[in-house]
């Protein structure tokens, strides 16, 4: 408390200064200044009240203020191991295919066993029918012969025919009995042969039916594998669960990155480093042999020439518009002693090595090579005259300078000998 209140009890003497109400604060201030006690204002209750009011006001304003978004460090990011993730995804897909093949194999084995049992049953029935065929054939021949001996005009090539009324009457029914015996024996033989033919047809059709049943079962298993219940059952297998959890983390990371990219929260450096990891790109280093400018890779304001050599290895070189004339050339950049050389690539017979030859060397399929070369030619006219990218280090700057010298020669006169080779000594090369 200030010196205005020095009383320590009810019997204490009154202060030398009058105690004014808060409403008379300005009057008290005038009194203090008049007595030369302006210093008493510092740290007084009035000063404390003023400070408190300011603090409370600031706190209230802070509560109502909108929270500013946190600043994201462009270098604070983690690049996934795309090669490892690809192996995980491949292992998951292979496990899924193996599981499906196992199910199909088990179903195929069960179907084959079922059709084998049917085949065995049909074969047994055919064998049994053949054993009775000879007996029924002999019976039919005997009864037919007896009926034919008695009534030869009633038996012809079409079979046995019933006797007339008078023949049955004058034979006291014997003609009818002989006819019925011959007819029943013949019908029994025909029924047996019909049954045998049906069983043989069924036996011959079993192979096609089995193949069709296997195909239908395979399709049903594939469709069941794509359902929620089928895929859940597959994921619950002990040997799959851990792998599936890793795949889920990979998919979640990809989805999170896509959302961050859509919201504009991904720095251009992260985009570049992520693309380099995903597509196995590296920064250009000597030597660069049989290289073409495949395209211009852009990550925000970052621009790079994407180079490709004859082994299909791709590297990034900081973009410099002076190198644009080399877009339709195949060139080499290499180090000789203390000098860096850059030259157009040539065949053994001295002819120019064309970009089309580069594509044919990289892709053995000529149709694919021609198609990709056509796409490359169409892309040559794009992404030109972009801002110059600062080189990463002195080595890259040296490569760019050598290529710029070569490009100026190529741009200045096609086919001249000066464009074939450009060597500049390097005194600054470490």
Quick one: pLDDT at residue 417? 39
Quick one: pLDDT at residue 313? 95
Q: Indicate if the pLDDT at residue 426 is higher than 60.
A: no
How far from 52 is each of 7, 24, 168, 365, 382, CA to CA, in Å? 24, 19, 140, 82, 65
Percentage of the chain surpassing pLDDT 70? Answer: 78
- Among 375, 374, 356, 337, residue whose Cα is nearest residue 345: 356
Indicate the pLDDT class of residue 30, thresholds 50, 70 and 90.
low
CB 315 within 8 A of CB 288: yes
Residues 104-134 pLDDT 10s? 999 999 999 999 999 999 888 888 888 888 8
Order of all β-strands in the sheet with 288-299: 282-283, 314-318, 302-308, 288-299, 331-336, 339-344, 421-425
Question: Where do the domains of the chain lie?
Answer: 1-50, 82-231, 281-425
Quick one: pLDDT at residue 143? 85
- What's the average model confidence in pLDDT over 229-239? 91
Contacts of 336 (CB under 8 A, 6+ apart): 423
CB 290 within 8 A of CB 345: yes
Residues 265-290 pLDDT 10s? 999 999 999 999 999 999 999 999 99
CA 47/CA 28 separation, integer angstroms = 13
Pairing of strands 331-336, 339-344: antiparallel
Assigned token pair, 236? 């619950």
- What's the average model confidence in pLDDT over 29-39? 47
CA 345/CA 334 separation, integer angstroms = 12
CA 199/CA 202 separation, integer angstroms = 5
Q: Indicate if the pLDDT at residue 222 is higher than 50.
A: yes
Contacts from 267-270 at CB under 8 Å and sequence distance 24+?
267/72, 267/74, 267/75, 267/77, 267/300, 268/74, 268/299, 268/300, 268/301, 268/302, 269/74, 269/75, 269/299, 269/302, 270/74, 270/77, 270/79
- Among 359, 333, 337, 356, residue whose Cα is nearest residue 345: 333
- Among 230, 234, 218, 222, residue whose Cα is nearest residue 107: 218
Q: Indicate if the pLDDT at residue 66 is higher than 60.
A: no
User: Does pTM surpass 0.75?
Assistant: no
Residues 310-330 pLDDT 10s? 999 999 999 999 999 999 999
């Amino acid at each position: 408390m200030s010196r205005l209140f020095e009383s320590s009890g009810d019997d204490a003497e009154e202060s030398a200064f009058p105690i004014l109400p808060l409403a008379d604060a300005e009057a008290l201030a005038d009194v203090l200044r008049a007595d030369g006690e302006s210093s008493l204002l510092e740290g007084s209750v009035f000063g404390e009240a003023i400070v408190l009011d300011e603090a409370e006001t600031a706190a209230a304003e802070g509560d109502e203020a909108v929270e500013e978004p946190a600043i994201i460090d462009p270098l604070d990011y983690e690049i996934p191991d795309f090669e490892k993730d690809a192996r995980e995804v491949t292992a998951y897909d292979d496990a899924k295919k193996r599981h499906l093949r196992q199910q199909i194999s088990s179903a195929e084995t069960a179907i084959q066993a079922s059709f084998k049992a049917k085949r065995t049953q049909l074969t047994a029935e055919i064998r049994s029918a053949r054993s009775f065929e000879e007996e029924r054939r002999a019976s039919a021949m005997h009864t037919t012969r007896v009926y034919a001996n008695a009534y030869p005009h009633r038996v012809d090539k079409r079979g046995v025919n019933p006797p007339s009324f008078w023949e049955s009457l004058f034979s006291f029914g014997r003609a009818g009995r002989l006819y019925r015996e011959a007819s029943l024996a013949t019908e029994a033989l025909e029924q047996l042969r019909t049954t045998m033919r049906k069983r043989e047809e069924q036996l011959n059709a079993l192979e096609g039916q089995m193949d069709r049943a296997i195909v239908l079962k395979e399709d049903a298993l594939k469709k069941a594998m794509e359902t929620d219940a089928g895929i859940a059952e597959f994921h619950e297998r002990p040997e799959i669960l851990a792998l599936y959890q890793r795949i889920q983390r990979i998919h979640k990371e990809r989805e999170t990155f896509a959302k961050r990219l859509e919201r504009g929260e991904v720095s251009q450096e992260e985009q570049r480093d992520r693309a380099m990891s995903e597509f196995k790109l590296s920064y250009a280093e000597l030597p660069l042999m049989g290289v073409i400018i495949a395209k211009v890779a852009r990550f925000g304001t970052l621009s790079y020439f994407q180079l490709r050599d004859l082994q299909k290895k791709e590297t990034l070189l900081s973009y410099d518009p002076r190198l644009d004339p080399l877009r339709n050339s195949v060139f080499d950049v290499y180090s000789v002693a203390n000098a860096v050389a850059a030259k157009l690539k040539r065949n053994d017979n001295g002819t120019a090595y064309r970009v089309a030859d580069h594509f044919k060397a990289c892709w053995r399929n000529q149709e694919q090579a021609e198609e990709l070369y056509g796409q490359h030619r169409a892309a040559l006219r794009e992404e030109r005259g972009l801002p110059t990218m600062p080189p990463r280090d002195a080595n890259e700057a040296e490569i760019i300078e050598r290529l710029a010298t070569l490009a100026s020669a190529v741009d200045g006169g096609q086919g001249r000998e000066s464009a074939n080779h450009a060597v500049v000594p390097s005194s600054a090369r470490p």
